[in-house]
Amino acid sequence: MTAPVAERDLLGFLEAAVSETPVETTKPAVEPTVASETPVRQLVIINWSGEFDRVMPTLIMANAAAAMGYQTKVFTTFWGLLPFVKDQKRIVGENFMQKMLTFMQRPGISHLKTSKMNFLGMGPWMMGVLSRKYNIASPKELLEAAEALGVEFMPCQMTMDMFGLKREDMIDGLGEPVGAATVLELMTQPNTASLFI
Amino acid sequence: MTLTESNPTGTGQVTTLDAKGLKCPMPIVKTAQAIKNVSSGDLLEVLTTDPGAVADFAAWSRSTGNELVEQTVADGVYRFVLRRK
3-state secondary structure of B52: coil
Q: Is residue B51 part of a domain?
A: yes
Average confidence (pLDDT) over A149-153: 96
pLDDT confidence band for B81 (50 / 70 / 90) = very high
ipTM value, please give it: 0.82
Nearest to B29 among A35, A36, A67 (CB): A67
How many angstroms separate the first and last alpha carbons of chain B? 21
* Contact (CB, 8 A) for B55 and B37: no
Q: Read off the pLDDT of residues A35-86 as tens digits, 9 standing for 90 and up.
A: 555 678 999 999 999 999 999 999 999 999 999 999 999 999 999 999 999 9
Q: Is residue B2 part of a domain?
A: no
Q: Express as a percent the part of chain A with pLDDT over 90.
A: 60
Q: Is residue B79 part of a domain?
A: yes
Our CA angle for B46, B48, B49, nearest 5°, is 165
pLDDT confidence band for A118 (50 / 70 / 90) = confident
Task: Give the CATH number of the domain where residue B25 resides.
Answer: 3.30.110.40
Alpha carbon distance A92, A78 (integer Å): 15
Q: Over 90: is that where the pLDDT of A171 sits?
A: yes
State chain B's mean pLDDT as an integer: 90
Chain mean position to CA A180: 15
Report domain extents, chain A.
Answer: 41-196
Q: Is residue B9 part of a domain?
A: no
Q: Over 50: is that where the pLDDT of A19 sits?
A: yes
| pTM of the model as a whole | 0.80
Among A30, A43, A135, most B C-beta atoms within 10 A, so best to mutate, is A135
Nearest to A60 among B25, B40, B60 (CB): B25
Domain hosting B36: range is: 14-83
Alpha carbon distance B18, A140 (integer Å): 22
Q: Over 70: is that where the pLDDT of A5 sits?
A: no
**Nearest to residue A17, comparing CAs of A45, A39, A47, A42?**
A39
How high is the pLDDT of residue A105? 86
* Contact (CB, 8 A) for A98 and A74: no
What residues are paired with A170 via a beta bridge? A85
Interacting residues of A146 by C-beta distance below 8 A, sequence separation 6+: A59, A62, A63, A66, A72, A74, A153
State chain A's mean pLDDT as an integer: 85
Chain mean position to CA A140: 13
Determine the topology of domain A41-196 in CATH: Hypothetical Protein Ychn; Chain: A, (3.40.1260)
How high is the pLDDT of residue B11? 80
How high is the pLDDT of residue A32? 46
Active site residues of B: 24
Question: How many structural domains is chain B composed of?
Answer: 1
Contacts of A63 in chain B (CB under 8 A): 25-26, 29
Q: Do A34 and B33 touch (CB under 8 A)?
A: no
Q: Is residue B64 part of a domain?
A: yes
Alpha carbon distance A131, A114 (integer Å): 14
Burial class (CB in 10 A: 0-12, 13-18, 19+), A84: buried
What residues are paired with B80 via a beta bridge? B46, B71
Q: Is residue B5 part of a domain?
A: no
* Contact (CB, 8 A) for A117 and A123: yes
